[in-house]
A and B are shown apart, each in its own frame.
Chain A
Amino acid sequence: MPDIDDPFSEARARCPVHAAEFQGETLPMILSLKKVRAAAKDWRTFSSDAPRRVPIPSEEDVRTVRQYPLEVDPPVHAEYRKLVEPFFLRPKQPEVAAKTEALVHRLLADALSAESVEVVHDFAIPLQSHALTYLLNVDEKEAQTWIGWGIHVFKDGDGMSKGPFMQDYCRRMFETAEENPGEDFFSTLNRSTFHDRPLTMEEKLGFANIAFAGGRDTIIHTVTRIIAYFASHTEALALLREHPEHINTAAEEFFRVFMPLTHIGRVCPQAAELHGHPVPAGGRISLAWSAANLDPEVFDDPRTIRLNRRPNPHIAFGSGIHSCLGAHHARAIMRTLLRRLAESVAAITVSAAKELVEREKDYSRMVGYEELHARFQPR
């Protein structure tokens, strides 16, 4: 029995591109890893210059701003990206790594002392939210607000109202930072310039929008699925304890198979064709990271989790110029989590679970959990 379901295995075996319908829009999904990488590199044919239309389904109903630097093409893409890059490199700093270490230690200590923990809301969301304060260099108290936004700002519960709520929150944060500037994300963007002019509020909100929405469900679901995996594979905890040299490879393997983001879109400025699938000018295609990461042409036994898989040329963080800015952050969290789990947890028992399944007309894909009730047994 494979560890991972692959809803695209039959379609991929037939053709590397599969036409699927999303809310009435049919668009070709690229399922093969090499072809996804090639399309991600070819930004002239497959453009990101499409405000609110890069995600699939599109986010035209849940936000008004363009996300920076995700939804722009070269050459301005690199200029926008540079403005926020220093924040996304912060997880590599020893003092930030120490804070992440202490956070994981604290949350695990709470989990180990409790009779039962609801892992999504009592562990993964607080972990993601507090760690994000370290990344953005803001007061850790802000995490309490973000925890209330749930698993996914736009999809969890009422995204139609939460999207504008988050945008209003960010606007207030920029205004507060204007009055009381510091070295945080909001103050830095207030001071930043683009082509010798200050950033507009729309641009600043666009940076903040993806900083909050982009790395949220991805980290939360990956953390929760790792814990569910260890619940059914206690021997894996022991393996990482005895062989800590596998922590990095294990983290990469979990990113390969557990990253919840099924795909991301690109827009074709001119009419194009993908393996016989026509795309009209202005039409969209899908770069299906999740399908590419299970491509049997690249990965031996792709549906089996191998904690020492190496090489592991996955694209869980995307590929090309738009590769995930938050990858350092995600890696720091998962590597710390794996090390701490192996050191302090003997076994995990799941008492109840409610899976979160992405249901589209052409496929269903398990992306994480809405709830996962578990008991952590100390070593």
Chain B
Amino acid sequence: MPTVTFITPDQNRITIENADANLMEIAQTHAVPGIDGDCGGVCSCSTCHVYIPDEWRARVGPPGEDERTTLDFNDAVRENSRLSCQIEMTEALDGLVVEVAPSA
């Protein structure tokens, strides 16, 4: 099962093994600070905002259109922004590292 590491805004690294769900759910299960997921993962609230390091962007892929709509109006949006609720962990993403975006 794959492993994912969250880097929080205060630079703590939280590594979760056997990650099997979308990134937001994984983060909530393990109480990762800054991943609130208020809307439950429907792409409405952007409280599960993460940045994808360059080396992972191709494998994670770009945001979908609905996700883009929500992200575009977030003050902390960057070119490498994603909503973690829209990223399903797979074996192909084993070792993934994401940065938790600062809260609005």
- Chain A: residues with CB nearer than 8 A to chain B? 33-34, 37-38, 40-41, 248-249, 251-252, 298, 309-317, 319-321, 323, 327-328, 331
Contact assessment for B42 and A37 in the assembled complex, using a CB-CB cutoff below 8 Å = no
Q: How far is the CA of A130 from the CA of B51 in the complex (A)?
A: 40
**B44's contact among A40, A41, A252, by CB below 8 Å, is which?**
A252
**In the complex the two chains form, what is the Cα distance from A249 to B42 in whole Å?**
7
- CB of B10 closer than 8 Å to a CB of A: no
A contact residues around B66 at 8 Å (CB):
298, 311-313
Return chain A residues, CB-CB under 8 Å to B86.
311
A327 CB contacts on chain B under 8 angstroms: 38, 45
CA–CA, A313 to B45, complex, Å? Answer: 8
Q: Which of A38, A310, A321 is in CB contact (< 8 Å) with B42? A: A310
Collect the chain B residues with CB atoms within 8 Å of residue A313's CB: 42-44, 66-67, 69-70
> Which residues of A lie under 8 Å from residue B72 when comparing CB positions?
34, 37
Q: Mark B33-58, 1 if CB is under 8 A from A, else 0.
A: 00000111111110000000000000
- State the CA gap A327–B40 with chains docked (Å): 12
B1: interface (CB < 8 Å): no
- Which residues from chain B contact A310 at a C-beta distance below 8 Å? 41-43
Q: Compute how far the CA of A319 lies from the CA of B104 in the bound complex, rounded to whole angstroms.
A: 12
A38/B73 in contact, CB under 8 A: yes
Q: Scan residues 3-40 of chain B and give those whose CB is less than 8 A from a CB of chain A.
A: 38-40
Q: Bound state CA distance, A33 and B65, in angstroms? A: 13
B38 touches A328 (CB 8 A): yes
Tell me which of A34, A311, A331 contacts B38 (CB under 8 A).
A331
Q: Pick 9 A–B contacts, CB within 8 A, sort by A.
A: A248-B39, A248-B40, A310-B42, A311-B44, A312-B43, A312-B66, A313-B44, A313-B69, A317-B45
> What residues of chain B have their CB less than 8 Å away from a CB belonging to chain A?
38-45, 64, 66-67, 69-70, 72-73, 75, 86, 104
How far is A238 from B101 in the complex, measured between Cα atoms in Å? 39
Q: Given contacts A37-B69, A328-B38, are A311 and B104 in contact (CB under 8 A)?
A: no
Q: Is the CB of B42 within 8 A of A40?
A: no
Query: Is the CB–CB distance between B73 and A252 below 8 Å?
Result: no
A251 to B70, CA, bound (A): 19
Among B38, B40, B75, which residue has the most Cβ atoms of chain A within 10 A? B40
Alpha-carbon gap, A252 to B41, bound state (A): 10
Closest CB in chain A relative to B50 CB, distance in Å: 16
Residues of B within 8 A of A38 (CB): 73
Say yes or no: A41 contacts B73, CB within 8 Å.
yes
With both chains docked as a complex, state the minimum distance between the C-beta of B104 and any C-beta of chain A, in angstroms.
7
Contact A311-B73, Cβ < 8 Å, known A298-B66, A327-B38: no
Give complex CA distance A245, B17 in Å. 23
CA A156 – CA B86 in complex, angstroms?
41
Chain B residues within 8 Å of A251, by CB: 40
Across the interface, B64 reaches (CB within 8 A) one of A34, A311, A321, A328, namely A311
**A89 nearest CB neighbor, chain B only:** B36
Q: Is the CB of B69 within 8 A of A40?
A: no
Known A298-B66, A321-B104; contact A309-B42, beta-carbon cutoff 8 A = yes
With A311-B64, A313-B44: A40-B70 Cβ-Cβ less than 8 Å? no
Residues in chain A near residue B64, CB distance under 8 A: 311
